[in-house]
Amino acid sequence: MNFEAVIIALIFIATIIFEQKQTKEPISINTMLLIYGSLYSLGSMLDERTINKDIAYMLIFSVYILYFSSKVSEFTLNRLLSEYKINSECFYDKKLFKNLILLLIFFCMLSFVYVFLFRISFFDFLNTTRAGRSLLMHGMGPLMFFKDTLAAIYIFSIVILYSRGYSSFYLKVAIFTGVFTVIYSLATISRAHFVFVALSTIYMLSYSRRIKSYQANILMSFGVIFAISWKWLISSIIIKGELNLETFTIDIPSEFVHWSNITYNISNEAVTYGASFFDAIVSMVYPFYDVTALSVWYVKKYEPTVAEIGGGRGFSLLAESILNFGYIGIPMVFSILGVFFGYINYMVRSRRKVVYLYLAATIVPILHQVFRSEFLSLTKTWWWYMILPILGSLIASKLRFKL
């Protein structure tokens, strides 16, 4: 490990400890932002395939711009709105809302059965590799909403359980949706939805003061090791049916390097003046808006052989900021995102509203997308499949709350 990487790691660790001490929260949006920022920054700096370490420094700069703007935003709101009092509880028609939750689960399971019985051969799915399973599911589009919406229902259920007290209904819903999501992650050998369950649970344990900082730090340390070895571990168990420790190696995940290569290539593209952000915003209003995601455009242009086999490389908000506004886009975009995070942090800590706590609990597991996805991915998955189904149910059940 080189000296500069050690210094950067120590800076991140010191900032994480400061955040935990200052907020008295083991895990928060800001803490996870710093953890992911350190992993992606250091992961690229420690890999010989990295094209340019300056890109890692740009990422570090963007992370701290986001972090400090979040802190300033939350501090400002505390000063300006400290005298305003809002009832901390949400009142809604519980029976109707529960029925809507059950209806969502029904449609999710209906979609799941349709996809795996009528659109994808279940036996072909079981007898193929991880890449083969991804190809089989590729092109299902909105029919795959069930995986994100069921994860969202799990998160909302534990938000209620940990913030509003025991509920037999929400406990049963959490167990069903949580177990389904974990099994789905194991079957597809994909970390994403396992992370939804794990991080949202740890976040709510942190929020409810059921774990301490050192316990959260131990869990996150094991989580990083588990995430790095995930593909080897699950592929060995599910595909090969055995664990061969001789084949086990801890390598820097390729995604920690690809974002650096992507950013380097994008820095040579012509500025698009906000085009992709405009597309993402339109997609939040109109779900059928026809637009090609930057991650798809990139892999077709720069790595066509990967695109031909249905593969991808992801993208990053850093690269998207540069593509849209040049290098000035880095402080612009990350400052705006930081203000949003600061607002959510303020509402969670000061107002303790279920709806904002739910938003925070869904943001924590997807913060890695800041470093490996474009903004459009949030409008296509987080917004349409996780946020709107729950918020729509809340509104439909005549939830009375003040934003």
> Is residue 373 scored above 80 in pLDDT?
yes
Q: What is the pLDDT of residue 397?
A: 78
Q: CA distances (Å), 39 to each of 155, 211, 252, in order?
A: 25, 23, 10
> Is residue 401 scored above 50 in pLDDT?
no
Confidence category of residue 91, pLDDT binned at 50, 70, 90: very low
Q: What is the pTM of this model?
A: 0.87
> Is residue 59 scored above 70 in pLDDT?
yes
Q: What is the pLDDT of residue 156?
A: 94
Q: What is the pLDDT of residue 5?
A: 81
What is the CB-side half-sphere exposure of residue 234 using CA atoms within 13 A?
19
Instruction: Tell me the two tokens of residue 100.
Output: 């809507």
Of all residues in the chain, the percent with pLDDT exceeding 70 is 80
pLDDT in tens, 294-335: 988 998 888 887 777 666 777 889 999 999 999 999 999 999
User: Who has greater pLDDT, 204 or 239?
Assistant: 204
Residues with Cβ within 8 Å of 259's Cβ and at least 6 positions away in sequence, in order, are 40, 44, 59, 314, 315, 316, 318, 319, 371, 372
| Axis crossing angle, helix 94-114 with helix 145-164, rounded to the nearest 10 | 150
Q: Distance between CA atoms of 219 and 215, rounded to whole angstroms?
A: 6
Any idea which residue has 């203000």 for tokens? 339
Q: Distance between CA atoms of 209 and 204, rounded to whole angstroms?
A: 8
SS3 of residue 375 by DSSP: coil
pLDDT in tens, 374-396: 998 877 888 999 999 998 888 88
Residue 397: count other Cβ atoms within 10 Å of its Cβ.
Answer: 17
Q: Distance between CA atoms of 327 and 347, rounded to whole angstroms?
A: 32
Of all residues in the chain, the percent with pLDDT exceeding 90 is 39
Q: What is the pLDDT of residue 103?
A: 95
Q: What is the pLDDT of residue 229?
A: 66
